Every structure is written in structure tokens, then in C-alpha cells.
Amino acid sequence: MKKIAFFDTKPYDKIFFKKLKDEYDLEFRFYESKLNIDNAYKAKGYDGAVAFVNDDIDKETIDALCENGIRVLAMRCAGYNNVDIKAAFNKIHVLRVPAYSPYAVAEHAMALLLCINRKIHKAYNRTRDNNFSISGLTGFDLHGKTVGVIGTGKIGQVFIDICRGFGMKILAYDPYPIKDSDITYTDVETLCKESDVISLHCPLTKETNHLINEKTIKLMKEDAVIINTSRGALIDSEALTTALVEERIGGAGLDVYEEESDLFFEDASDKILKDNVLARLVNLPNVVVTSHQAFLTKEALENIARTTCQNLYDYFEGNTLENEICYKCKKFDTCDRKGGKCF
């Protein structure tokens, strides 16, 4: 039985991972603390570590894990922008869950869009207060509107299908467009100019950091709605907030926020919010913020737990590591993956 240090544990993780531990011959030590340089020592004596989206797995943390004998890190998420994969190369095998439910995330993106557009959040509060007025709740038909989808990978494609069900026209931007598809691709500028709704489904990289910024926002229609279920730093939050306050865009549905790591997933209801940008965003009537919950469906959690356990099992059994990621094997891989591993 292999012993695994499990960081940033949420109550739901325990439920789904405990169900599978015997099947995969794994024993978990659940830590609530995040994996970062201060907590890496907690992995000492374990055979592997499991981490999550807001853990801070920089070079120092990688080195500390290594010093404590860790050679495998299983991310229980798809994104790995919080892992210094270059520093991990030749030291720690980084595994991830590339797809667990694109439907969960794409459906949440549509939930945010419907909520913002039809002002469900306001109606919910009103009717609970016996206020049955509908003034100020006017939305627009999604039918016939143009949705700009940035990133047409697994989640982007499901989102496109959902939008087509609503009768929306699709515009997309992706540096690696799907060949022979019926999706109309364009550049980011045209997408920003022509879309009524813009939804982000690309990973956070150096190129996509602050993809939505003062300049791109200025191109958008004044009633455009931005949806972000991908990663917070795709949007320059200050530029977004300014545009919303100055009524230069229509609204935003945000499941992620660039400074989310110390706040999201935690109950801070008894504390004063020190982040002025987030404090402003959550109080704007045309903004709905959810705290990185787009993935949170029963099906997705089952898949995350199973793939993470399978990834660890494959590593310990010496099997091909299907879900290993390294800095060489991103899109067009230069990683030779000798023996089914990146190194």
C-alpha cells in the first residue's frame, strides 16, 4: 500500500477518494493546508503527493518535495499553471486529470450567462423579500446573438454545442483551430468587436495572461457580457472593474479570479474583504461571482478521484503515464516520452 500526502483537502475530496483507496491500494493522509514551500515538509515519509488548483508549486516547493523523497505529484485538476513544470522536469513526475467533465464546466458557464442576462440573482433576492416587482430585470434573447469562444478545446466545444442549442451564432479564436470543423474562427480583435457574449475556455499561459485587458475591452460592444470559467488571470480584473463601473460593458460572470488563491474555497464571511477589486466586483449588480465551482458536479468529482488514483497506480506499477505533463510535451510535443514517461 502506497502512502499519499493529500494537500488542500475539501470535505468532498474525502468522500470520493476514500471510496477508491482500497481498489487502488492507496492510503491517504488528508491535509487541509495548501501545498506550498511552508507545507512541503508534510510530504516527508510519503510515496507521493496530491495537490489542487490554488496550491503554489513553484521551484522552491518542487525542490523541497524532492528533498523529502517525493517523485510523483498528482494534480487533481486539469490546469497546471500553478506548477513550475520546468523545475519539476527530471525531478518529479507531474500527473493531472486532463478531462473529468467538460459538461460540468461548460454548463456552469451557461448558468452564469443565463443568470447575468436574466438577472436571476436579483430576482431571487427580491422574491425572498416579497418584492415581486420586475422592473430593471430586462434581459435579451440569446437566440440570434453572437458568442465569441476563446479556446475550442474540450470545454469550449461543449459550450459551443450548448450555445448552438440556444440558437446563437458562434465565433471562435484558438491558435490551434479544429481542422475541418464548422466553427467560424477569427482573430481576438474581431471576436471582441463582434460578440455579444465572450466566454473564455483557454488555459492560462504567458500568452493568455490578461488576454482580456483595457485594450481588448475597448473593442467590445457596450452591452457585451464576459464569462470566465477558465483561469482568473486571463482577465485584467482592474480593467474589467473599471469598464463595468463606467458602463462600457454589459456584465460579467466569473467563476475564477486572478487573486483567488487565498479566498476561494474558504468561508471568509466573518472577515473584512481586503481585496478592493473583488469587493467591488461582488457588489456590482451586473456581476455574478462563483468561487471556482464550475467543476463541482458528482460526475466530475467521481472522475477526478478515479483518474487521480489511476495516475498514481500507473506510476507505482511502472505503467505508461498517460496523463503526465512536462514543459516539453504541451501541444506540439518535443517530449520523446521514452518508456511511457516524460523522463
- Mark the segment that binds ligand NAI (CB under 6 A) among 35-43, 139-147, 204-212, 216-224: 204-212
Cα gap 321→313, rounded to integer Å: 10
Q: How far is the CB of 79 from ligand NAI (least distance, A)?
A: 4
- Which of 62, 88, 116, 294: binder of ligand NAI (CB under 6 A)? 294
Query: CA–CA distance from 4 to each of 51, 63, 203, 242 (Å)?
Result: 11, 18, 28, 45
CB atoms within 10 A of CB 47: 19
Q: How far is the CB of 127 from ligand NAI (least distance, A)?
A: 29
C-alpha R_g of the chain: 21
- Which of 292, 304, 310, 312: binder of ligand NAI (CB under 6 A)? 292
- Which of 61, 146, 199, 229: binder of ligand NAI (CB under 6 A)? 229
SS3 content of the chain, % helix, strand, coil (to 5): 35, 15, 50
- Which of 12, 41, 124, 176: binder of ligand NAI (CB under 6 A)? 176
HSE-CB for 162 with a 13 A CA cutoff: 20
Q: How far is the CB of 188 from ligand NAI (least distance, A)?
A: 8
Q: Quote the strand ranges of the chain, DSSP E.
A: 2-6, 26-30, 48-51, 72-75, 93-95, 146-150, 169-173, 197-200, 225-228, 251-254, 287-289
Residue 302 is a catalytic residue:
no
HSE-CB for 194 with a 13 A CA cutoff: 19
Query: How many binding residues for ligand NAI (CB under 6 A)?
Result: 30
Residue of 76, 93, 96, 231 marked active site: 231
- Judged by beta carbon, residue 165 or residue 175, the one nearer ligand NAI is 175
Residue 214 is a catalytic residue:
no
Residue 259 is a catalytic residue:
no
Q: How far is the CB of 133 from ligand NAI (least distance, A)?
A: 34
Asked whether the beta carbons of 195 and 170 are under 8 A apart, the reply is no
Q: Map grid coordinates 468522500 to a residue.
A: 15
Q: Which residue is nearest to ligand NAI (CB)?
A: 153
Query: CA–CA distance from 52 to each of 76, 97, 100 (Å)?
Result: 6, 11, 14
- Judged by beta carbon, residue 74 or residue 105, the one nearer ligand NAI is 105
Cα gap 61→67, rounded to integer Å: 10
- Which of 173, 257, 264, 315: binder of ligand NAI (CB under 6 A)? 173
Asked whether the beta carbons of 328 and 90 are under 8 A apart, the reply is no
Q: Does 41 bind ligand NAI (CB under 6 A)?
A: no
Give the closest residue to 4 by CA, choosing from 34, 45, 39: 45
Taking CB under 6 A as the rule, which mask of x and - marks residues 75-114 in contact with ligand NAI?
A: ---xx-------------------x--x--x---------
Q: How far is the CB of 80 from ligand NAI (least distance, A)?
A: 9
Residue of 107, 258, 260, 324 marked active site: 260
- Judged by beta carbon, residue 271 or residue 331, the one nearer ligand NAI is 331
Cα gap 302→312, rounded to integer Å: 16
- Which of 7, 57, 74, 156: binder of ligand NAI (CB under 6 A)? 156
Q: Does 295 bind ligand NAI (CB under 6 A)?
A: yes
Query: CA–CA distance from 314 to each of 42, 186, 291, 311, 335 (Å)?
Result: 23, 41, 32, 5, 19
- Mark the segment that binds ligand NAI (CB under 6 A) among 11-19, 29-37, 63-71, 146-154: 146-154
- Which of 117, 230, 303, 323: binder of ligand NAI (CB under 6 A)? 230
- Measured in whole angstroms, the distance separating CA 141 from the mean position of its chain's CA atoms is 27
Could you give the residue numbers annotated as active site? 231, 260, 292
- Per CB under 6 A, residues contacting ligand NAI are 78-79, 99, 102, 105, 150-156, 173-176, 201-204, 207-208, 229-231, 255-256, 292, 294-295
